[in-house]
Amino acid sequence: MNNFLVCFVTLATFCNCVQFPSSFKKCDKRRSDFNQCLSDVVYEGFKVLDKPLKSHGLPSLHDIEYPPDVIIEIGNSTYGLEQKFSKLRIIGLSKPESVTARLEFGPVVSTLTIEASYIEIIWQMKYDAQGTTVLLPLKVQTSLDLILRNPTLTFTIELEEYEKGATYFKVIHSDFDMHTDDFTPRFEQLFSDKLLNDEFNSALNEKGVQVFNIHKHLQVNMAPYFGSIFNSFFEKVPVAELFVD
């Protein structure tokens, strides 16, 4: 998705719904350096969202908590291991090392793409599992931290214009993707035996990126959530307030 013009436009920390403060940098669509300007503004916007902007319906990007009804389930307990991931949180999105943004304007649909690179992102969740793993019966509830080092997050948002007294954007589709150099899963208490738990975490971490790539398709669940954040902002701010034509 993925994902954040919602960040750069939020530099309007003290604005009302239709006007930005004079300090807000509006990028000129006619200039050849438009996307570089956009990248700089998005980068600053990420940092602004270290705290939530309730006036614009925007959550903090430092600690994003999914709605409580978002649950990811894989496998089954009859033939293997039933796994459920819930109470998902992502920590650290407000502190990118670098941001590259581009906005391609189309006659009907415009596409915003943002690539944000980080030193570290932590993905926290509750993990429930029931079934059998390597012949060992397992029934457990534990916290699970997924630590991504040097990750790049890509947000792709498709926008369509509509009229409501002025021209506004609305999100019609969103995608989200993650790549990482290192992936470290950390189960707090998968097994009651601490030594066994630590050894399992260690063995799993040796194949961290491989494990990440196997389950990478599950991140599709994140796209609609980020898309809804974008949309909640765009419905308040006219397109004319975002750019110089």
Tokens 């534990």 locate to: 142
The backbone region for 91, taken as left when phi is positive above 0, alpha when psi lies in -120 to 50, beta otherwise, is: beta
At 237 the pLDDT is 81
pLDDT at 26: 87
Q: What is the chain's pLDDT, residue by residue, as a tens digit (245 residues)? A: 333 444 444 333 333 343 444 456 789 999 999 999 999 988 988 888 888 877 666 788 899 887 667 788 888 767 778 888 899 999 999 999 999 999 999 999 999 999 999 999 999 999 998 888 777 778 889 999 999 999 999 999 999 999 999 999 999 999 999 999 999 999 999 888 899 899 999 999 999 999 899 888 878 888 888 888 888 878 888 888 888 87
Strands 81-91 and 72-74: antiparallel
In degrees and rounded to multiples of 5, residue 231 shows phi and psi of: -65, -35
Q: What is the CATH number of the domain that holds 65?
A: 3.15.10.30
pLDDT at 68: 66
Q: What is the pLDDT of residue 8?
A: 40
Provide the domain limits for residue 50. 5-244
Instruction: Give the bridge partners for 184, in sequence order.
Output: 147
| pLDDT value of residue 123 | 93
- State the total domains in the chain: 1
Q: What is the pTM of this model?
A: 0.81
What is the residue type of 1? Answer: M
What are the two backbone dihedrals, phi and then psi, of residue 55, each rounded to the nearest 5 degrees? Answer: -65, -20
What is the structure's pLDDT at 56? Answer: 67
Contact 169, 159 (CB under 8 A): yes
